[in-house]
Structure 1
């Protein structure tokens, strides 16, 4: 049971809290509170059974469901490249670093309990594992090499640095190659996960763990699509334009 301002009633059933917002699953998992089949305890009772401080758990649940709205009208194309690169790191890279290990745990637990029921789950896990293995490597490469180069080149171009043209010859990074590899991996995995899950559509007999996993996969899918759009359609074209101008100069 949810109240105004995302307040959670400690007398509400764990299952009711979960169904009001799938993001609460992370907190229940953290404290080993069962939220799936057969979980019919009120939050306060579930906490007392495990020796937990219900006030602390309740606070974390309320923080988990607090919604931060990001306007779809943000002028990404008008942002300085430095700011856009920082936005990608602070928003999308931070999201992935938090989400991937948490989702891996939810997915592994769900698959262990339902592998015989859904034959495609092993491949779904394999596809997700590809993402989890490769994305951190790409993010490190972007943060330590690609984005610093973009920022340096953008500052030199904006300030009309006389050495700016030299940077494109001596410091140039394989931006297109790295991003193309990253995006091909992501799109290949997302396409296969969408096919396996019928676009994250729940079957009629889906349990709560099934619902949580699909909601989290859909959220990951949406974030990665936005992430790729910013890099492929805004950041990269503007970088190539700057490089072209500096080379001609």
Structure 2
């Protein structure tokens, strides 16, 4: 996402702009169930001036990808080390922690029922997605690309959209990652970890969708 408009929906912005989800949570703006509303409407409903909220989001646009390497091979290495390996490591402990919180606090009205199942589906789909990038797409890019590269890129973009849907489900079942009063340490650690994981995944997808993939798409379109 390279620019923000007041006509964009909050759901789209949260899915594509690193840091937007946390900004919306801070302003108590829902972007999972009620996310298909324009930014201007969401701002007014939250008691904010639309121009004020837009300015905050534009600052995030300027910051997005600022720390990513410029060279393609370095950028791919950054994605692999900073995101692929980190997602795998974090899901390894987030899933059993979610299972524990659901088991211990299942009777609580704020319990994140179904969270562990969503995380397991996301883990399986994300692992498949990342393996395809690691074994096929990224090596092709590091070799300079090619005529057929448009197809795997298009598939990766579609899979990103599926991952976004899982993130929206996580936001929904956790009530916007809102902890109830007196939440235990496990519940608190779970939501802290989920917040970082979700923000990381959005940043990861942004770097691929907005920075890495476009470097090869004009080439593939021209070759076709």
TM-score class, shorter: 0.5 to 0.7
Q: Secondary structure at the match of 1:153?
A: coil
Query: How many residues end up aligned between the 2 structures?
Result: 162
For residue 159 of structure 1, what is the aligned residue in structure 2?
none
Name the counterpart of 1:103: 94
Residue of structure 1 equivalent to 2:163:
186
Tell me the SS of whatever aligns to 1:116.
Answer: coil
For the 8 Å contact 2:115–2:170, the answer to whether it is kept is yes
Q: TM-score, normalised by structure 1?
A: 0.59
Maintained 8 Å contact 1:146/1:173: no
Which one of 176, 180, 191 corresponds to residue 203 of structure 1? 180
CA, structure 1 residues 220+107, in 2 after alignment: closer, same or farther (shift >3 Å)?
Answer: same
Alignment RMSD (CA, Å): 2.3
Structure 1 residue 74 and structure 2 residue 51: aligned? no
In 1, the alpha carbon distance for the partners of 2:219 and 2:126 equals 27
1:36 aligns with none
Q: How far apart are the structure 2 equivalents of 1:119 and 1:82?
A: 44
- 1:146 match: 137
SS of aligned partner of 1:129: helix
Unpaired runs of 5+ in structure 2? 1-62
CA separation in 1, counterparts of 2:65 and 2:162? 28
Following superposition, the deviation at residue 75 of structure 1 comes to 5.5
Is the counterpart of residue 117 in structure 1 residue 94 in structure 2? Answer: no
Pick the aligned partner of 1:85 from 67, 72, 76: 76
Where does residue 85 of structure 2 map in the other structure? Answer: 94
Q: Normalized against structure 2, the TM-score is what?
A: 0.65
- Higher relative contact order, chain-length normalized (CA < 8 Å, sep 6+): 2
> How far apart are the structure 2 equivalents of 1:75 and 1:175?
26
The structure with the larger Rg is 1
Find the counterpart in structure 2 of residue 234 from structure 1.
Answer: 211
Alignment of 1:128-147 (within 5 A): 128-147=119-138
